[in-house]
C-alpha cells in the first residue's frame, strides 16, 4: 500500500554576521536537509553527509517529565529504560547487543523535562536494521512490556536515583523544583521522579502513559549521514508508515512563575563539608529573546575575573573559591541561577549580602558594548563544533523541529543570539533581577545550621532506610502475550549489506627547526583546528613530598603573561572565539587550543606567550592554591572519589608517586610557594621533552611553519624518573565508612599491564565481554538481572609505567554483600574460558565500530594521543584490528589467566559500615 506524504524540500542556509569591535565578518553555515511527514503524523528529516561511512538515527518524542502528573512522577524517564529492554521482535537484552555487534559507536537515550530522545550511530550498512529496531519500539513495544520487565526497570531507575543522591549537594535539585514551582506546575518535580512514585507505579500506568505520548504523531525521526535518500525513504515507509497515529499531543502553554515573596530554605547535608548558597530568580522560557540577553548578563556578571560577582566574593571578600551565574531555560519556563559553594566556615548570610553588593557594583560600574560583543565571538566556533558529527547535526535538526516547529529555527536562534545589545542586557537585569523576589537555598554540612542564611525554614530531607531498602520481588505473573499485528514480517531482521570500507586517517610526522616532533592529521570538513603542546613529565617530576607543583604550575600559567593581566589574557582569547588552556596531569603538562582555522596564527601566538612568558602573579597564585585545596577537600565528600583515591593507594602502594592525584594533597599543596613553581618551570620546561599534535583544517607544511615559531626555545636535559617499588596491599577486603550511605562503591582489582606493554591492547580485548560495555557480564547480572545498580563495568587502564585492572559498581547498600560475591564469582568464572559465539560478538563490536571513530577533531586528537605519548606506530589501529581478528577462544582464555588474577584481587568497599561490614566477613576474602 502506498502512503501519502507531504514533502517539504528545504536547504538550510545560515548567513550570519559577526561584528567584532567595528569590523563585520560574514560567515556561512549550512546544514542541508529534507523534511516530510508520513500519513500517521510522524515528521521525517533526512540529511546527507558522506564524509564518514556512518549514519545517525535519532528519534525524539515531545514528552518529558513535564507531561507527568502528581503522584505518578518519573514515568518519562522510566519509559526511556523500558524502551531499551524488549519489544515484540527485539528479544530481551538484544537492543544493545544487536547494535554493538553491527558496529554502533554510540547508542543511548535521555530524558529531560520536555523531550525524550533515542539514538544510535551505526555503520551505513546498518541503517535499515536501526530503522527496523526503532520502529519496533515505537509501534510494537507494549505487547512485550510485562510485569517482570517493568519491575526490573523500576528497580534500576531507583538505583540511578540513589546514585545521584549519594553525593554532596544532591538536595539542590529537589529544593529548586519543589520551592520554585507550585506542585501543580509541570516543572514541580524532578525528571527522575520520587522514589515512592516509582515504587508505587503500576504496569497499567506505564501502558497508559506510552499510549498517550509515544506515537508517530508526537515524534520526529532524523536520519543523518552516509545514506541513499531514496532507499532510506523506502525503509522508513516500510517500517514506520503502518504504525497507528496516537492522540494529538497537547501543547503546554508558556508558564513562567512569579514569586510573591522571597523564599528562604535550608537543609543539612550528610556528605557536604562546606556550605552552598543558591539564589534563583524566575525568568523566561527557552527561545524567548530575553533568555539570550539573560545568558549574556550571566557571563558579564560572573563569567570572568573582572566580573562583579567574582571580584566581590572571590577576590575581595574571599568567601568562596569560585562563583557561577547562568540563565537556565526550558520549554515553558526558566530561571536565572546563582550558586556559590563557600569556604567551610563562611556564613551564607554573608554570601547573600556579597551577591547583593555585586549587583550594586554591576549597576555602578556598568559594562561596555565591547563586553557584549566579546560574548558573541565564540558563537561561530561553538556552532561549528556542535555540528561536527552526524549525531550533533541530527540532534539540532530534530530538537529545533519539535520545540520550534521547523529545523529552520536554527537560523532564528542564531540571529537572536547575535542580536543581543548592551541595552537588552540592562533591560533584562532591571526586569528579572533587580529588586525581584528569589528562591534562596542554603545547604550546610550536618550539624552546621548556624552557617545557613538567616530567616530560612528547614527543608526536611527524606531519608531512605537502608534496612528497608530493596528491590521489588520478581515472583510476578505476566499477562498472556498478545502480539500486535503488522502488515510485514517483522520477525525477520534486515540483512545488512557489505561492511563499509573504513578509511583510517593518515598521520603525518615532521620536526620543527629545533627538533620538536610534530604529529598531525588533516581534516577539512569544517574550518576548525585543535592543537596540543605536550611536555612530558607532569606529576612524575614532582618531589614526592611536594606533589602538586607541576599541576599548580600549569594552572598558574593560565593566569596572565608578562604583558597581559589575567583579565587581559582571557579577553584576548575570547576576542578570537578560541580556547587555550594549560593543564597538568600524571605524566605531562599540556597547552591545548582550539579555534577557527582563520584565527590559528593569533591563537598560537597567545599560546606561545603563555608558554614563554608566565606572569607568576603572587595574588593569583594564592587564589589558585586556595582553590586547589578547597577542591581537594570537596573530593573527600564524594564516595566515588574516595573510592578511586583509596584504591590507587592500595594498588600502587601508599608511598608510590602513582598513588597520588596530580593536584596533590591538602598537606602538600599547603607547602607550595611560587618559587617552587618557578623552579619546576625552569628545570623541566624544555623542547627536549616536548611533542606537538595538531588536527583539522591545516596542511602539514603550514603546521610546521607555525610551530617553527618555537625555534628560539633552548633545550635542556630533563630526566624523568623511572617508577619503581610498586608495593600493592595484600589481597582482601578493605572498607571505608560513609555513615548512612544509601549506596556502596564496590571496587575489585589489581595491578595490570602498562600502556606501553605490547600486550596491553590484548588485555583490553579480553576484558570486553566481562565488563567493557552495557552487555558485559557484570552489568547484565548486577543491573539487568538483580537490579542492584545503575551500571557495572570492568577494564584495564594504563600509562607509561603501570596500569590497573578494575571492576566497579555503585550498588544499593543492602546488596553490598551479594554484589561483592557476584563480582568475585564472575571474575573467577571468566578466567575459565569464553564461548566462541561470545568472542565473535566481541570481535564484531570492536572491529565494526571503527567506522565511527574518526569523525570529529576530538576523536582524531584521541587517535593521535597514543602515538604522541607512547610512541605507538602510525598503523596501530590496523595492528589492533589484526589482534582482534586473529584471537581464538584458546588464546582468550590464556590471556585472561595471564592478566586477571582472582586470587590477587583487592576489594574496596566504600559505604555504611554499621549495616554492611560484618556481613562481608562471611565471604572469606580476608
Q: With beta carbons less than 8 A apart as the criterion, state whether 687 and 557 touch.
A: no
Who contacts 13 (Cβ-Cβ below 8 Å, separation ≥6)?
A: 28, 30, 411
**Is the pLDDT reported for residue 627 higher than 80?**
yes
In a 10 Å sphere around its CB, with 0-12 CB exposed, 13-18 middle and 19+ buried, how is residue 682 labelled?
A: exposed
Percent of the chain scored above 70 by pLDDT? Answer: 95
Q: Residue 468: what pLDDT?
A: 60
Q: Crossing angle, helix 127-139 and helix 229-240, to 10 degrees?
A: 20
Q: Which of 16-20, 583-587, 609-613 has the lowest mean pLDDT?
A: 16-20
Q: What is the mean pLDDT of residues 624-645?
A: 94
Q: For position 471, what pLDDT does the model report?
A: 55
Task: Provide the b/e sequence for 832-870 (b: ≥16 CB within 10 Å).
Answer: eebeeebbebbbbbbbbbbbbbbbbbebbbebbebbbbb
402: its cell numbers: 519539535
Q: Is the pLDDT of residue 26 over 70?
A: no
Q: Is the pLDDT of residue 773 over 90?
A: yes
Taking the CA atoms of 762, 768, 772 and 778 in sequence, report the sign of the dihedral they define.
negative
Least confident of 81-90, 236-245, 270-279, 514-523: 81-90
* Mean pLDDT score of the chain: 92
With 60 as the cut, is the pLDDT of residue 883 above it? Answer: yes
For residue 3, pLDDT over 90 is answered with: no
Distance CA 544, CA 295 (A): 44
pLDDT tens profile 160-212: 888 888 888 999 999 999 999 999 999 999 999 887 887 888 888 888 888 89
507 and 867 Cβ atoms separated by less than 8 Å: yes
In our burial notation (b when 16+ CB lie closer than 10 A, e otherwise), range 46-74 reads bbbbeebbbbbbbbbbbbbbbbbeeebbb
Rounded-to-integer distance, Cα 780 and Cα 587, Å:
35
The pairing of strands 6-20 and 43-48 is: unpaired
Residues 98-109 have pLDDT tens digits of 999 999 999 999
Specify the pTM. 0.92
The gap from C-alpha 876 to its chain's centroid, in whole angstroms, comes to 27
pLDDT at res. 319: 98
Q: How far is CA 14 from CA 72, 182, 410, 420, in A?
A: 42, 40, 8, 18
Is domain 732-923 given the CATH code 3.40.630.10 in the classification? Answer: no
Residue 803, pLDDT > 90, answer yes
Separation CA 159–CA 857 (nearest Å): 35
Reported as a single tens digit per residue, the pLDDT across 550-564 is 999 999 999 999 999
pLDDT at 21 over 50: no
- Topology given in CATH for the domain delimited by 508-710: Cytochrome Bc1 Complex; Chain A, domain 1 (3.30.830)
Give the distance from CA 562 to its chain's centroid: 36
- Rounded to an integer, the average pLDDT of 907-923 is 96
How many other CB atoms sit within 10 Å of the CB of residue 895?
18
pLDDT band, very low/low/confident/very high, at 475 (cuts 50, 70, 90): low
- pLDDT of 656 strictly over 70: yes
Residue 844 has pLDDT above 70, yes or no: yes
| CA torsion angle 648 650 651 655 (round to 10) | 80
Q: What is the mean pLDDT of residues 764-784?
A: 96
Q: So what CATH class is 263-458?
A: alpha beta
* Domain 38-240 indexed as CATH 3.30.830.10: yes
pLDDT on residue 231: 98
Which cell is 624 given? Answer: 589558585
Q: Judge whether 277 and 348 are in contact, CB under 8 Å.
A: yes
pLDDT at 17: 34
Q: What's the whole-number mean pLDDT along residues 659-678?
A: 97
Question: Among the listed ranges 421-425, 848-852, 890-894, which one has the minimum average pLDDT value?
Answer: 848-852
Residue pointed to by grid coordinates 572565539 = 577
Q: What is the pLDDT of residue 25?
A: 46
Comparing CA positions, the residue from 393, 96, 107, 44 lying closest to residue 226 is: 393
Whether pLDDT at 277 is above 50: yes
Phi and psi (nearest 5°) for 767?
A: -75, -25
pLDDT of the residue at 203 = 82
Model pLDDT, residue 10: 32
Tell me what pLDDT residue 577 has: 93
pLDDT of 465 > 70? The answer is no
Strand partners for 793: 808
The pLDDT, as a whole number, for residue 160 is 84
What is the mean pLDDT of the segment spanning 421-428? 98
Residue 821 and residue 649: Cα distance in Å, rounded? 23
pLDDT at 209: 87
Dump the DSSP string for 761-825.
Answer: HHHHHHHIIIIISTTSHHHIIIIIIT--EEEEEEEEEE-SS-EEEEEEEEEEGGGHHHHHHHHHH
pLDDT of residue 176: 95
pLDDT tops 60 at residue 752 = yes
User: What pLDDT score was predicted for residue 200?
Assistant: 82
Express as a percent the part of the chain with pLDDT over 90. 82
The residue ranges of every structural domain in the chain are 38-240, 263-458, 508-710, 732-923
Q: CA–CA separation, 745 vs 793, rounded Å?
A: 12
In degrees to the nearest 10, what's the CA dihedral of 532, 538, 540, 543? 160
3-state SS, 139-158, equals: HCCHHHCCHHHHHHHHHHHH
Which pLDDT score is estimated for 624?
96
Map residue 591 onto helix, strand or coil.
Answer: strand
Q: Write the DSSP symbol of residue 433.
A: I
- Those residues whose C-beta lies under 8 Å from the C-beta of residue 254, and which sit 6 or more positions away, are 285, 332, 333
Among 789, 687, 164, 3, residue whose Cα is nearest residue 469:
789
pLDDT band at 71 (very low <50, low <70, confident <90, very high): confident
Decide if 379 contacts 414 (C-beta within 8 A): yes
Percentages helix, strand, coil for the chain (3-state, rounded to 5) are 45, 20, 35
What is the model's pLDDT at position 207? 84
**Which residues, other chains included, contact 342 with Cβ-Cβ below 8 Å and sequence gap of 6+?**
274, 275, 276, 277, 319, 320, 348, 351
CA–CA gap between residue 79 and residue 311 (Å, rounded): 46
Q: Is the pLDDT of residue 910 over 60?
A: yes
Grid look-up 578509511 returns 503
Grade residue 469 by pLDDT with cuts at 50, 70 and 90. Answer: low
Confirm whether 38-240 and 732-923 share one CATH topology. Answer: yes
Alpha helices by DSSP H, listed for 25-168, are 75-82, 95-101, 127-139, 147-165
Please compute the mean of the pLDDT values over residues 429-446 and round it to a whole number: 98
Amino acid at each position: 500500500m502506498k502512503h501519502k506524504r507531504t514533502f517539504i524540500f528545504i536547504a538550510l542556509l545560515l548567513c550570519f554576521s559577526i561584528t567584532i569591535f567595528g569590523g563585520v565578518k560574514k560567515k556561512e553555515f549550512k546544514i542541508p536537509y529534507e523534511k516530510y511527514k508520513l500519513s500517521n503524523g510522524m515528521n521525517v528529516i533526512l540529511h546527507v553527509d558522506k564524509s564518514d561511512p556512518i549514519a545517525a538515527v535519532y528519534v525524539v518524542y515531545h514528552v518529558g517529565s513535564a507531561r507527568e502528573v502528581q503522584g505518578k512522577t518519573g514515568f518519562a524517564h522510566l519509559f526511556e529504560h523500558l524502551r531499551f529492554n524488549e519489544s515484540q521482535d527485539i528479544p530481551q537484552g538484544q537492543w544493545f547487543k544487536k547494535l554493538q555487534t553491527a558496529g554502533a559507536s554510540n547508542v543511548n537515550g535521555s530524558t529531560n523535562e520536555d523531550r525524550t530522545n533515542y539514538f544510535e550511530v551505526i555503520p551505513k550498512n546498518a541503517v535499515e536494521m536501526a530503522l527496523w529496531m526503532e520502529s519496533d519500539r515505537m509501534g510494537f513495544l507494549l505487547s512485550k512490556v510485562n510485569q517482570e520487565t517493568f519491575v526490573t526497570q523500576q528497580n534500576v531507575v531507583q538505583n540511578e536515583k540513589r546514585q545521584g543522591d549519594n553525593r554532596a549537594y544532591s538536595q539542590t535539585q529537589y529544593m529548586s523544583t519543589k520551592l520554585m514551582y507550585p506542585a501543580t506546575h509541570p516543572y514541580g518535580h524532578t525528571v527522575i521522579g520520587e522514589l515512592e512514585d516509582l515504587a508505587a507505579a503500576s504496569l497499567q500506568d506505564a501502558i497508559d502513559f506510552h499510549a498517550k505520548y509515544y506515537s508517530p504523531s508526537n515524534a520526529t525521526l532524523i536520519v543523518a549521514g552516509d545514506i541513499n535518500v531514496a532507499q532510506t525513504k523506502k525503509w522508513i515507509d516500510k517500517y514506520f508508515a503502518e504504525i497507528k497515529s496516537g492522540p494529538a499531543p497537547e501543547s503546554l502553554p508558556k508558564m513562567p512563575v512569579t514569586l510573591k515573596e522571597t523564599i528562604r530554605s535550608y537543609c543539612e547535608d550528610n556528605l557536604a563539608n562546606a556550605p552552598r548558597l543558591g539564589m534563583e530568580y524566575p525568568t523566561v522560557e527557552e527561545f524567548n529573546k530575553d533568555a539570550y540577553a539573560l545568558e549574556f548578563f550571566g557571563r558579564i556578571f560572573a563569567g570572568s575575573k573582572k566580573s562583579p560577582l567574582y571580584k566581590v566574593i572571590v577576590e575581595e571578600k574571599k568567601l568562596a573559591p569560585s562563583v557561577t551565574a547562568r540563565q537556565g531555560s526550558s520549554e515553558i519556563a526558566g530561571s536565572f541561577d546563582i550558586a556559590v559553594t563557600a569556604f567551610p566556615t563562611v556564613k551564607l548570610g554573608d554570601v547573600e549580602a556579597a551577591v547583593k553588593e555585586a549587583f550594586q557594583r554591576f549597576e555602578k560600574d556598568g559594562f561596555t558594548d565591547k563586553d557584549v560583543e566579546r560574548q558573541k565571538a565564540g558563537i561561530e566556533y561553538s556552532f561549528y563544533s556542535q555540528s561536527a558529527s552526524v549525531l550533533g547535526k541530527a540532534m539540532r535538526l530534530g530538537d529545533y523541529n519539535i520545540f520550534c516547529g521547523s529545523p529552520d529555527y536554527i537560523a532564528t536562534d542564531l540571529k537572536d543570539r547575535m542580536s543581543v545589545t548592551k541595552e537588552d542586557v540592562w533591560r533584562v537585569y532591571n526586569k528579572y533581577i533587580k529588586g525581584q523576589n528569589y528562591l534562596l537555598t542554603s545547604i550546610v554540612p550536618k550539624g552546621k545550621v548556624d552557617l545557613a542564611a538567616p530567616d530560612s525554614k528547614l527543608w526536611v530531607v527524606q531519608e531512605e532506610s537502608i534496612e528497608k531498602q530493596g528491590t521489588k520481588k520478581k515472583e510476578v505473573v505476566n499477562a498472556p502475550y498478545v502480539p500486535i499485528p503488522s502488515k510485514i514480517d517483522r520477525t525477520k531482521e534486515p540483512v545488512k549489506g557489505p561492511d563499509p570500507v573504513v578509511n583510517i586517517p593518515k598521520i603525518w610526522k615532521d620536526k620543527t627547526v629545533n627538533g620538536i616532533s610534530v604529529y598531525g592529521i588533516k581534516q577539512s570538513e569544517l574550518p576548525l583546528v585543535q592543537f596540543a603542546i605536550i611536555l612530558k613529565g607532569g606529576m612524575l617530576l614532582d618531589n614526592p613530598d611536594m606533589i602538586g607543583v607541576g599541576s599548580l604550575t600549569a594552572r598558574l600559567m593560565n593566569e596572565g603573561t608578562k604583558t597581559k593581566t589575567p583579565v587581559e589574557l582571557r579577553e584576548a582569547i575570547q576576542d578570537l572565539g578560541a580556547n587555550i588552556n594549560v593543564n597538568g596531569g600524571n605524566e605531562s603538562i599540556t597547552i591545548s587550543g582550539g579555534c577557527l582555522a582563520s584565527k590559528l596564527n593569533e591563537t598560537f601566538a597567545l599560546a606561545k606567550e603563555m608558554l614563554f612568558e608566565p606572569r607568576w602573579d603572587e595574588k593569583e597564585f594564592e587564589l589558585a592554591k586556595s582553590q586547589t585545596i578547597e577542591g581537594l577537600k570537596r573530593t573527600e565528600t564524594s564516595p566515588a572519589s574516595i573510592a578511586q583515591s583509596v584504591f590507587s593507594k592500595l594498588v600502587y602502594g601508599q608511598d608510590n608517586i602513582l598513588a597520588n592525584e596530580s593536584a596533590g594533597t591538602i598537606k602538600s599543596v599547603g607547602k607550595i610557594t611560587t618559587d617552587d613553581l618557578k623552579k619546576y618551570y625552569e628545570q623541566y620546561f624544555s623542547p627536549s621533552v616536548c611533542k606537538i599534535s595538531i588536527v583539522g583544517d591545516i596542511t602539514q607544511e603550514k603546521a610546521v611553519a607555525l610551530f617553527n615559531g618555537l625555534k628560539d626555545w633552548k633545550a635542556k636535559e630533563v630526566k624523568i624518573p623511572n617508577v619503581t617499588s610498586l608495593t600493592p596491599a595484600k589481597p582482601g577486603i578493605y572498607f571505608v565508612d560513609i555513615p548512612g550511605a544509601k549506596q556502596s562503591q564496590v571496587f575489585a582489582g589489581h595491578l595490570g599491564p602498562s600502556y606501553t606493554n605490547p600486550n596491553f591492547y590484548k588485555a583490553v580485548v579480553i576484558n570486553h565481554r566481562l565488563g567493557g560495555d552495557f552487555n558485559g557480564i557484570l552489568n547484565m547480572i548486577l543491573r539487568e538481572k538483580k537490579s542492584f545498580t545503575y551500571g557495572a563495568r570492568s577494564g584495564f587502564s594504563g600509562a607509561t609505567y603501570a596500569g590497573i585492572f578494575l571492576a566497579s559498581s555503585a550498588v544499593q547498600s543492602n546488596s553490598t554483600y551479594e554484589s561483592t560475591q557476584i563480582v568475585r564469582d564472575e571474575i573467577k568464572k571468566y578466567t575459565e574460558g569464553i564461548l566462541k559465539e561470545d568472542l565473535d560478538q566481541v570481535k564484531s563490536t570492536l572491529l565494526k565500530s571503527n567506522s565511527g571513530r574518526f569523525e570529529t577533531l576530538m576523536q582524531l586528537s584521541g587517535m593521535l594521543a597514543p602515538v604522541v605519548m607512547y610512541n605507538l606506530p602510525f598503523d596501530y589501529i590496523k595492528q589492533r584490528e589484526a589482534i582482534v581478528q586473529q584471537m581464538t577462544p584458546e588464546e582468550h582464555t590464556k590471556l585472561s589467566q595471564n592478566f586477571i588474577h582472582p586470587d590477587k584481587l583487592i576489594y574496596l568497599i566504600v559505604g555504611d559500615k554499621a549495616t554492611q561490614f560484618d556481613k562481608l566477613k562471611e565471604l572469606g576474602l580476608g
